[in-house]
Structure 1
Amino acid sequence: MQFWERLSPHRTSIAENDDWSDTFTSGLRELTGVLKRHCQLVELLSNQLLANRAAAAETPPASLIGLAANYRRAVGAAFASSAPVSLAGVLEQHYTHSLEEFSTAHRSHEEGEGELLDSAEELMGAEYVERLQSVTEALELLGLEEEAAAACMTAVGRHVRQHLKSTMQATFSCSILDPALAYVDAVPLPFLQMTQLTGAAAKRQAELWAAMLGYFVYDTVGAMRIAQFFDMVVDWPDSLPALRDVKECLAHTNLQPHFISSFRTATQQRLLHAGMACAATLDILTQYVNTIKALKEVDPRGILLTAVGEPIKAYLRGRPDTIRCIVHSLTDDNADDSLFGELTQPADEEGEGSDDDVEDWDGLQAALEWKPDPVEVGMIDSQGRERSLDIISMLVGIYGSKELFINEYRSLLAEKLLGKTDYECDREIRTLELLKLRFGEANLHNCEVMLKDVADSKRVNGNIKDMPAAAMSPLRRARREAPVAHTSATIISALFWPTVPEEKFAVPPEVQEQLDAYAGRFFVLKTPRKLLWRPDLGAVSLTLTVGDDTLDLTVTPLQAAILMQFRLAHALGLSAEALRARIMFWINQGVIAEARTAAGLLYTRCESLAAGGGRGSGAVAMEEDDAAPTISRAQGHALQEMAVYEQFVMGMLTNFDGGLALDRIHNMLKMFVVDPPYDKSAEQLATFLGQLVADEKLSCEAGVFRKR
């Protein structure tokens, strides 16, 4: 009690004394001296009593055995219970104060670039080390060594955590793990060693502390980096040093479950939320691709990606434009956020191995070093195959089947080719060749035929325009043939192209004459083949003069026909609603004005471009006509037609637990479905099954469809 009163008289907390640590140390030294003398007297008294009992041939009482040790424990208990605050708190304050003193001296020495010292004792001096060890000796004498060790480790852990938070940079361009480990070896570990008395036990304790501090650093840095992992994915690849920190921390700790839970929560809250603030599909795809790349760096086996990627895949499957965004991003080599570069990367090999490959020493070594997946993660696919971290395979695997991807690519390619006016397809050919390496030539045969059609159309178009008059029949030479110099055609093999619903309208007579003249020359060149025109899928290049302004536009034939037949728009054969929907484009361009009158809507040509109307030279209007027929709308119509067969497909897969491949489902539908008769192609069925997979009604693995 006198010890504590001298340390903190009339106070409830010793922290109020500025010099309390020195007072605490000196008081313990005095207490140790007194306790040692008392213990010696108790030991002498105990030995004398035992000797007297032995001389009288009497059995000594149990209380005399170990009397000195019991005395020390009693004094230690009284010492701890009489403290104004908990003894653990007092010891933590003492060690915290001493550690801060050592840390400050070390930092000053490092900043001053002083001479290299051999040990921490040389930096702090013998008095500092003696002060630490005297506290340790006193607490051991009082039987409080366990309390002392726990308080010391608590103080060290708090110090290391505060150091990491104060020095940890907000950017991810540099590692914090290596400096943290170096700091632990330079400050906390030598401090712990200075608190121990010399001897073999102290050396073993130092080794234990080194292991504990190393694990503590990995655990602390890992928890900090895991909380920032979503931002690391956003900053890929600038965050590679931070990702390597995460990899090392996960390898040395058991933070995998925490990582999965934390990253899933961050992804759900910041990316996969619904409502008006939901992210664009392309942004989600970009984040998913960055997640694949980042986790490939952190966990090359793909266990963590399997665990955290499924919510993103499920969310993307629920978006109607996901597959189109994937195809567009993979095939567009112009956009900054395009995934086209992934096509040029070699696919990950999923080697199937052979028992005869005894020469493969690397594979043998990998097999000897194999480790099972962590039980708490336990994410391996149902077939037990090795996980592939190939980005394209994982994007296509969102729907479980490549047929949906291939059909969407075919539709997108058709739109691009039909919108071309120069027949230049070098980029499309390069993209197709890269896709063939991924998906095989047979799966992309239709696309190859489509590109061949465009190349053939370019050659035929040139031959038609260069055809001499002598090659025409006498009857045609007698007529006055319309010029074909400004007319071009893309001649397609309809069986290999996606089906697009035809929107019929009356082509203006002067345009029809040019089309007939072109078709006549084609018949002469390719007898007996004839052209069947689809003007609704074409493109028209126009130069319009409105007042003093000029517009260069590429529009659909119907948009051009509306302008040519402006005063006879009813001759186009369109309903009033359809005509008004298409004329809105010219109103937005400032070429036509709309006004309400008593008789109804009145449309007039503008004498000059309306304010905010014309967009200037080079505007492309093909994509702005929302009412125009497109491949995507055609696919939606085809899926509606296929919906009547859904119950037949679900019934088949209910009876076949092992699932069915596409060709077998196709053959069974042709054999057994008669009302309504099944007359669809395998490609149409593949698209329909892919949509059922996207709707999570079916699953597809390795080309086999199963009911969910």
Structure 2
Amino acid sequence: MGEIFDVDDVVTKIQYAFPILNGKIHSNCTDEQFTEILNEITKRNLTKQIKAIIINEIERYVREYIAPNFWSKFTNNSDETQGFECFKSAVDDLYTSSIEFLPLLKRLELFNDTNDIIYLYGQTNHLSQFKLIVRATLLSQLPLFHEIIIEQFYKIAFNVFCNTDNSSSLDTSENEATECGGCNKELDSCRCQLIVFMFHETNRKLIELELLERLVGNVLTSLIHIRIKEHVNRVCDKSFDVSQLVPLEHWLETVVLSWLTRIYSGGSSKTEALTEKIRNAILKFKKKLSHFLYETYTRIRIDQLFNIIIEYPDSQPAIDDLKICLERTDLRKILIVNLQEALKTRLLHPGVNTPDILTAYIAAIKALRQLDPIGVLLETVTEPIKAYLRNRTDTVRCVVSGLLDEFPSDLADELVKGESLQLDDGSADEENEDWEKWMPDPVDADPAKSTQRRMSDIISMLVNIYGSQDLFVNEYRTLLADRLLSQLNYHTEREIRHLELLKRRFGENQLHFCEVMLKDIYDSKRIDGLVQSNVMYSSETAPFSVSALILSAQFWPPFKEEWKLELPKFVQDQLNKYVKAFETLKGNRTLCWKPHLGNVHLEIELKDRKLDMNVTPIHATIIMHFQDKSEWALEELAEIMHVPATVLRRKITFWVSQGLLKEISNDIFHLQEESSPKNRSAAEIIEEEEVESAMASASDQREEELQVFWSYIVGMLTNLDSMPLERIHQMLKMFASQGPGAVECGLPELRQFLDKKVREHQLLFSGGLYRLPKL
């Protein structure tokens, strides 16, 4: 038989050595008594069983007493100061309760020997096992509002830390405040030093209990994220001309991470004193916070990007910062969506003038190319701008006017660079590519536009809105004609300089007609001099002198269809004499006058005043008729001048506004020989004279040119039934765009032309195919 022993006696001794079995922590058992009891337990081979029972009781005690007591101090209280005190008190009580277990844990260690090691949750050390039990039990009983108290504690501490950190840089005027910026108390009763001390003490206890990361990690992260957002918003509020990224990184390192280091070290600001594990944790936290900083900064700059673009190049530092952040975040798609929406709501609507849209578009080209040198962002973001400009009737004229602007402007500066035009025709100069520096395009890039994206300059991009340079060349011809006819002199130096710059862009062949136009002005000066010296013309007494601009009709843009103004007889006689002198000089050539064009210098002598002014021929003709007759009916005057009554009424208001004519009854006008107080000076008269273009608009001219293609398109669709856009374009290039003087048409312009025919019900479009409607 085995040895017989008294079970009750053994149980009593074990309970005496480990009072935790009776729900108590402190033991009165001396070391000698414990050694005797331990030997008896070991002798009876009960070590494993006793240790398991004791650990079970420790878990029960922590679950029923320590954890509930800890969480009982966490209440949904809105007072931050009270929340700070509650959290500190809870940690203090938890730490005190845990310290009381140290003697018990130390005695449990004596149970172990080399042949008897119990692993609990992977821990071989009883102290580590105890901390794990406390941590797991606390986290299993989390109350609903536990993070509120924790946030209040760390929020107050962070305020104090930031205030202390910045106090040295404050001016004396700021220090005259009666309230402390850290603890919000009166300066005489400032608690900042006490708060710092309690803060570090609390963190030290949490670190020792290995509870810091698990208990407050999420709250710390959330609190720091809020601080980062507030700081970035404050620093970057509408400030684009200074780089903010480096100061923000410095703030993150010196303020936020320094505070974290103090938390994990229990008060020390030096990382050398930390363990390798803690240093790695701080380093990992730093990477996450740096990424959050970049993401926050990027989102703010994306919201401000429209203003940043408008202020470019003054906003260059903000663009540079954003470029760095986009490489470190994944926010390109958000940038594209937000910027396109901002452009549509703030720029692309009827309330914005076309020159302003072009200015913003050019600024966007420059800024986005700086942001993304490959050009993918530019290509994607500006597509709505190009589509909108394509539908504005004055876009081409505004672009050409910008190119010819005498004042410093973006387009004029681009023209001076003298680069050749690059059209999106699908061709690429691969020989000029530097393949050693080649980088693949981002995944959101359109591979079909890769080459053009790298090559196109600002002027080329504006031309490519329409896909053809013909419209711009025609607009330039029209604008050049207006400028030459409006100045009515023989000075062409400025126009020649512009023409030479444009020839470097568009080629000499495209601008040949413009060269002829300028040559006409030069020849006109020479011919007019010869006519004026002609004896037959100059020997007779003439009522006035005539100078003429002699134009080659086939090289100038078509004029607007105007009524044939009937000039006074003495004026027409003088013009006829000029024609005879010209015919004598040129032999088989003659002149056809455009009587509605030109400039007339008038000297008007009335009873009480004399006026000296320059007006248009129709205005001069109107007032000359009042020289013979002081009162005219509108219809009667319109019939004599061969001018529509509606046009004459609009023109005659000029003289009414100057006080020379008065409408005494409906459509009856009378000459005012004497001035009234409302009459204005001649200087004002000249300023108010309306200036209208004598040329047909370039868009009207282009519409007429494109009609050349219509017969080809009708023939193709009659034979082939239906065709896609690309096929129609290829066949037009093959058959309709050959030979000298042939009209060219780009793919986007052809699409617009065909879509207009669809709207006019002359074509049908379905499934990507165009066809003729069935009769």
**TM-score greater than 0.5 by the shorter chain:** yes
**Greater shift in the superposed pair: 79-88 or 1-10:** 1-10
Aligned partner letter, 1:153: T
- CA distance in 2: counterparts of 1:101 and 1:62, whole angstroms: 42
Kept after mapping to 1: 8 A contact 2:478/2:698: no
2:152 alignment counterpart: 93
- After superposition, the C-alpha distances for 1:644-680 in whole angstroms (9 at most, x for unaligned) are 8547437759647645679955954999xxxxxxxx9
How much does 1:19 deviate?
6.2
Match of residue 160, structure 1, among 222, 225, 228: 228
Deviation at 1:445, TM superposition (A): 0.9
Q: Distance in 2 between matches of 1:222 and 1:433?
A: 45
After superposition, where does 1:611-622 map in structure 2 within 5 Å? 614=680, 616-617=682-683, 619-620=685-686
Greater mean alpha carbon deviation, residues 640-649 or residues 483-492:
640-649
Amino acid at match of 2:355: L
Secondary structure of the corresponding residue to residue 243 of structure 1: helix
User: 2:623 aligns to what?
Assistant: 563
Aligned residue in 2 for 1:290? 363
Shift of 1:447: 0.8
Q: 1:353 and 1:418, CA in 2 relative to 1: closer, same or farther beyond 3 A?
A: closer
Within 5 Å, which residues of 2 pair with 1:162-201? 162-197=230-265, 198-201=274-277
Matched, 1:573 2:633: no
Q: 1:516 aligns with which of 576, 581, 593?
A: 576
Q: Which moved more, 1:397-406 or 1:192-201?
A: 192-201
Helix, strand or coil: the match of 1:604?
strand
Question: Structure 1 vs Structure 2: percent identity of aligned residues?
Answer: 31
Choose 583-592 or 179-188, whichever is displaced more.
583-592
Change (3 A) 1:591 1:136: farther
Q: Higher Cα Rg: structure 1 or 2?
A: 2
1:590-601 correspondence runs (5 A): 590-597=659-666, 601=667
**Kept after mapping to 2: 8 A contact 1:540/1:554:** yes
CA contact (8 A) 2:615 2:686 kept: yes
Provide the C-alpha distance between the structure 1 equivalents of 2:153 and 2:332, rounded to a whole number of angstroms.
Answer: 36
Query: Counterparts in 2 of 1:429-440, with a 5 A limit?
Result: 429-440=496-507
Matches within 5 A, 1:194-209: 194-197=262-265, 198-209=274-285
Superposition deviation, residue 453 in structure 1: 0.8
Q: Secondary structure at the match of 1:428?
A: helix
Give how far 1:466 is off.
3.0
Q: 1:263 to 1:39 in 2, by over 3 A?
A: farther
Cα distance in structure 2, aligned partners of 1:245 and 1:539: 57
2:375 maps to 302
Conserved 8 A contact 1:76-1:144? no
Is the Cα contact below 8 Å between 1:332 and 1:340 reproduced in 2? Answer: yes
Alpha-carbon deviations, 1:479-502, whole Å to 9, x = none? x74549731111111111111135
Cα distance per residue 1:413-466 (max 9 Å; x no partner):
111112222211222111111111111111111111111111111122122223
Distance 2:250 2:96 in 1: 39
2:712–2:732 contact (8 Å) kept in structure 1 = no
Note the residue ranges of structure 1 that are not aligned, 5 or more in a row. Answer: 114-123, 672-679, 699-705
Deviation string, structure 1 residues 584-642 (Cα, Å, up to 9, x no partner): 33333433222435xxx21112235567665632655797266xx73135863773696
Post-superposition Cα deviations, 1:97-139, rounded to whole Å, max 9, x if no partner, equal 22222211110133479xxxxxxxxxx9999589547526526
Change (3 A) 1:589 1:645: farther
Q: 1:481 to 1:43 in 2, by over 3 A?
A: farther
Distance 1:10 1:71, change over 3 A: closer
**What CA deviation, in whole Å up to 9, does each residue of 1:145-170 have, x standing for no partner?**
34433322222221122222233343
**What residue number does 1:487 align with?**
546
Aligned to 1:448: 515
Q: Distance in 2 between matches of 1:695 and 1:664?
A: 13
- Change in Cα spacing, 1:647 to 1:226, as seen in structure 2 (3 Å) is farther
* 1:525 corresponds to: 585
**1:404 touches 1:687 (CA, 8 Å); kept in 2?**
no
Q: Secondary structure at the match of 2:665?
A: strand
- The separation in 1 between residues aligned to 2:705 and 2:510, in whole angstroms, is 24
2:135 aligned to 76, 101, 104, which one? 76
- The question of 1:342 aligning with 2:414 is answered yes
Residues 609-688 of structure 1: pairs in structure 2 closer than 5 A: 614=680, 616-617=682-683, 619-620=685-686, 624=690, 630-632=694-696, 636=700, 639=703, 643=707, 646=710, 648-649=712-713, 652=716, 655=723, 658-659=726-727, 664-665=732-733, 667-668=735-736, 682=742
2:305 alignment partner in structure 1? 229
Letter in 2 for 1:451: L
For 1:588, the aligned partner's letter is S
Q: 2:183 maps to which residue?
A: none
Deviation at 1:289, TM superposition (A): 1.6
1:282 counterpart SS class: helix
Within 5 A, what are the aligned runs for 1:379-458?
Answer: 379-382=446-449, 384-388=451-455, 390-458=457-525
Name the SS of the counterpart of 2:670 in structure 1.
strand
Q: What is the total number of aligned residue pairs between the two structures?
A: 651
CA contact (8 A) 1:522 1:530 kept: yes
Cα distance, 1:236–1:348 mapped onto 2, change above 3 Å: farther
Structure 1 Cα separation of the partners of residues 545 and 526 of structure 2: 16
Number of the residue aligned with 1:366: 437
What does 1:456-471 correspond to in 2, within 5 Å? Answer: 456-467=523-534, 469=535
Per-residue deviation at 1:583? 2.3
- Compared CA separation, residues 550 and 221, structure 1 to 2 (3 A): farther
Matched, 1:604 2:676: no
Assess if the C-alpha contact under 8 Å between 1:196 and 1:202 holds in 2: yes
TM superposition shift of 1:61: 11
CA RMSD of aligned residues (A): 4.3
Which deviates more from structure 2 when the two are superposed, residues 551-560 or residues 611-620? Answer: 611-620
TM-score, with length taken from structure 1: 0.79
Secondary structure, aligned partner of 2:557: coil
Q: Which amino acid aligns with 1:593?
A: K
Are the aligned partners of 1:595 and 1:602 in contact in 2 as well (CA < 8 Å)? yes
> Contact 2:123–2:129 at 8 Å: present in 1 too?
no
CA change 1:512–1:638 in 2 (3 A) is farther
Structure 1 distance, partners of 2:215, 2:322, is 34
Farther off after superposition, 606-615 or 237-246: 606-615
